[in-house]
Amino acid sequence: MITIINYGMGNLRSVQKAFEQAGFPALVTSDPQKIEEATRIVLPGVGAFADCMKSLQRRKLIDPILRAIEAKKPFLGICLGLQILFEESEEFGIHKGLGVIPGRVVRFRLAKKYKVPHMGWNRIKKQKRLPMLAEIPDGSYFYFVHSYYVIPEDPEVVVTTTDYPRDFCSSIAKENIFACQFHPEKSQKIGLTLLKAFAEGK
């Protein structure tokens, strides 16, 4: 079962509906036991980094998430679900993340003509081959809405970059983890293609 983690933040129903559109039922839950039993885990998110970590702690979800990752269960992080995999974020102070991926989350610092948050459709540029992206052409447009982006310590984890106005990391992969800054659930047909590939284990 695809299990979407509910920690009180994020567009959970839209992620669930997108999986259903792609042909795969998905469960939304905050029950640690159901997360332990999941075969595939999705961590979406919209909001502030520190609030996310506090909510995960309050609901006792951090340990089940870390155990699932350690058990090599397929894991999909979306937007904030990407960012909290990292060691720390500078959003409203310095805050510790899950520490699964070495690196930091930083704010866009751009010329005034570039708006922050970075919002709307933008292209991804593939940096490496990944079975999950095999049916997604290089240069495909996905939907973004974020003011912060990740800087991995290890460039080998970077799967795609996106230009705003210089390249930033827009998705990463490591072993059983794929996580993206963009929102596949808001990215129409191409987003459903990505979700379908995750659900099918590509």
Catalytic sites, residue numbers: 79, 183, 185
Residue holding tokens 């129409």?
188
Q: Identify the burial level of 124 via C-beta atoms within 10 angstroms of its C-beta, where 0-12 means exposed, 13-18 middle and 19 or more buried.
A: buried
Nearest to 26 by CA among 37, 13, 45: 13
Nearest to 39 by CA among 74, 65, 4: 74
Where b means 16+ CB within 10 Å and e means fewer, 17-35 reads ebbeebebebbbbbebeeb
d(CA 157, CA 81): 16
d(CA 121, CA 2): 27
Q: How far is CA 74 from CA 88, 152, 154, 179, in A?
A: 23, 20, 20, 11
